[in-house]
Amino acid sequence: MADGFEPESRKLLGRLRDTMASEAAGQERLDHITHIIADSMGTEVCSIYLFRDEDTLELCATEGLKAEAVHETRMRIGEGLVGRVARTGTIVNTADAPSAKGFRYMPETGEEIYSSFLGIPIQRLGDKLGVLVVQSKQAREFSADEVYGLEVVAMVLAEMTELGKFVGEGEAMAARHQQQVEIHCTTAQEGVADGHVWLHEPRVVVTNPIAEDPHRELKRLKEAVDTLRVSVDEMLNSAATGGDTEHLQVLEAYRMFANSKGWMRRMEEDIGRGLSAEAAVEKEQSAARARMSQVTDPYLRERLHDLDDLSNRLLRILTGQGKETGAEMPHDPILIARNIGPAELLDYGNKLRGIVLEEGSVGSHAAIVARALAIPLVIHASQITTEALNGDHILIDGDTGTVHLRPDETVVGAFRDKMAMQAKAQERYASIRDLPATSKDGQTVSLHMNAGLLADLPSLLGSGAEGVGLFRTELQFLVQSKMPQRAELSAQYQRVLNAAQGRRVVFRTLDIGSDKVLPYMKTIDEPNPALGWRAIRVGLDKPGVLRMQLQALIRAANGGPLTVMFPFIAQLSEFTAARAEVDKAMERERRLGHPLPSKLEVGAMLETPSLAFASKKFFKDVHFLSVGGNDLKQFFFAADRENELVRRRYDTLNVSFLSFLEGIVERCADTDTALSFCGEDAGRPIEALCLAAIGFRSLSMRPASIGPVKSLIRRTDLSAVRKVIWDARHRGEQSARAAVMDYLRTQS
């Protein structure tokens, strides 16, 4: 059979094309397909299993097994040989199925008389749809040609499933993209949003998976690949002249794949077996995505990601389906993307209600911009880009990290009730906006906001914040393709100070490295970037940018007060060297005749445990300290905040962490050093209350958190909360959270 399989394969796909074009119902069409596959392959059995939910497969059609087993036989993913194919996304080919690892006997199917088994995953772009199986009585392994041919058929079945050709009764044959889907994600920016899907990159739809003329398809593929290669070369030349090193490396990988003989040969073979040029590209893309899900090495994953992106470009050339599809953006768009850069996100301005990403990280550029724009953002939303369609109704709960796609009325009602309750709470917070955050026992806490964009500043007045406790200056660097000029930065900083209307703004100098890499800066491959060459370490080793930024800040102050803070200081010598750069910049500006700040404050972020134990001289030299809670907590507990397995494992209200923070409060009190706490925990009411109770008198958070934090502080006795924490510690409890929550319940 192998010798004549190529024409047989094309003949089989021709019969499938006729089935696709028929007016038959979904079940009848599926039944007919199993018959023609078994007939073409010369096997007694062909069966198609489709997913009825993410964990369960259902036998939906068969030629050769007992008819009464259809829609009755079900198995969990990983169960039996079929479940094994579904779980791993890989082929199982065995001459002796009953002896194969994981075999499960299903008496209702009558399959015990069949020895050989070939199972092929039905998948599309990483989305697992089901399993195609052929079986025969003869004990033999299927040949490489037969396996390859059936893979091509599985590809067509995936496209037919996507196009709704198998719609029938039951969950497994329900129409795709119409069912309600709930996805559990990771929260990167809290908040809730109700809106409709807007795809950042519209999906390419392959409507013609089967080709009539292989020679024409090969010609179309070659012309499209030639066009792709030219465009990649042009992008490479442009990137080379622009000095964009990281972009250059990506494009070099693109060129390597675009010129890959193996990639081209596989697509040509797919066309030779009957696929259209588009389907051949998508088949190889699906295989790359399947491999990507199994690969743990970050370099290999990135290369497979490059191939995936290149395949999308090739598909757009072949189909003519560009990013501009003519679809109109809904009035309440929620952006769906695999990932997105900061500049692309800022292009949407303030139109977006929320963002859902398939990839991303809590510290990514997109997350930073989303926080700056106060847009709910969730990441790690598995398969959202293949599941969602433009215009689908979607709900984001950034508080719980949940996405509801095409929700039913019950879910919508509950969600809107939650939004209404939050709106009422915001009204209550607005009534105390101009009142101080003074506790019942008379202790006042200053509440400040974090910012990173000029667009954040209107929130300064509306939120009731007393100032900007942290202005992230790196966003101006991250959203550009080249280093910004000093005059450009100075004008931007001056606009920020003007918008603050005299309120204090703490400018944090450039905090890059770790998960924040400038697109025009050479990437350093580090085994652990969070502990590597980042923030002030980069600034002191490459002082040119730091000096330019300090000069821009001094000029922006224009004779008014200026507050500067250095990130990631780990020891006294780093602060001393950074402070010396400030003094040099001040002297240079004085010589040039520029006005100097009327008041200059120079502080540091305490993000490493080492700095808490610095000499008394450091605490006296620094004008103020801001505890960077996000980094400090991950280093204190040795728990990577990007790692979902451990990042939620350790509680901020762990008594050992609170004791450590109390030590910092006491050291600052001893040297009369101003102290604040900045980070996600400062904006969580219970955590903020406990931080205030142990002595923090200044907290900096996202604007939307100021109302809830102020409200709780104003109705609570901080001395009593401090005693609750102290008692929990002395009872040997690991965390003070339960004790504090119990106390608050008695006060409500």
Q: Which residues are catalytic?
A: 365, 678
Please choose, from the candidates 255, 304, 256, the residue with its C-alpha nearest in 3D space to the C-alpha of residue 284.
304
Please choose, from the candidates 133, 126, 127, 161, the residue with its C-alpha nearest in 3D space to the C-alpha of residue 147.
133
Token output for 395: 């709900």
Count Cβ atoms within 10 A of the Cβ of residue 746 and give its class: 0-12 exposed, 13-18 middle, 19 or more buried.
Answer: exposed
Token output for 70: 């259809």
Tell me the C-alpha distance between 548 and 567, whole Å: 17
Token output for 460: 């300064």
Please choose, from the candidates 456, 458, 354, 352, the residue with its C-alpha nearest in 3D space to the C-alpha of residue 399.
354
Q: Angle at the Cα of 350 (from 346 to 351), degrees rounded to 5?
A: 105
Tell me the C-alpha distance between 188 and 677, whole Å: 20
Element (H, E) at 415: helix 409-431
Please write down the long-range contacts of 531-536, taking CB distance under 8 Å and 24 or more positions apart: 534/568, 535/510, 535/511, 535/566, 535/567, 535/568, 536/509, 536/566, 536/567, 536/568, 536/569, 536/574, 536/578
Amino acid at 158: A
Pairing of the two strands 402-405 and 181-184: antiparallel
Instruction: Quickly count: other Cβ atoms within 10 Å of residue 313's Cβ.
Output: 17
Q: How far is CA 159 from the centre of its chain?
A: 27
Alpha helices (runs of H) in 46-123, residue ranges in sequence order: 80-88
Token output for 588: 């240079």
| Close Cβ partners of 505 (under 8 Å, ≥ 6 residues apart) | 467, 468, 471, 496, 497, 563
Residue environment code for 494-524, b if the CB has 16+ CB neighbours within 10 A, otherwise e:
bebbebbeebbbbbbbbbbbbbbbbbbbeee
Q: How far is CA 519 from the centre of its chain?
A: 19
Please choose, from the candidates 317, 322, 310, 318, the residue with its C-alpha nearest in 3D space to the C-alpha of residue 258.
310
Tell me the C-alpha distance between 171 and 50, whole Å: 9
Instruction: Quickly count: other Cβ atoms within 10 Å of residue 430's Cβ.
Output: 13
Helix (H, G, I), strand (E, B) or coil at 26: helix
Determine contact, residues 116/239, Cβ cutoff 8 Å. no
Q: What are phi and psi of 348, to 5 degrees?
A: -75, -15
> What is the full DSSP assignment across 129-140?
EEEEEEEESS--
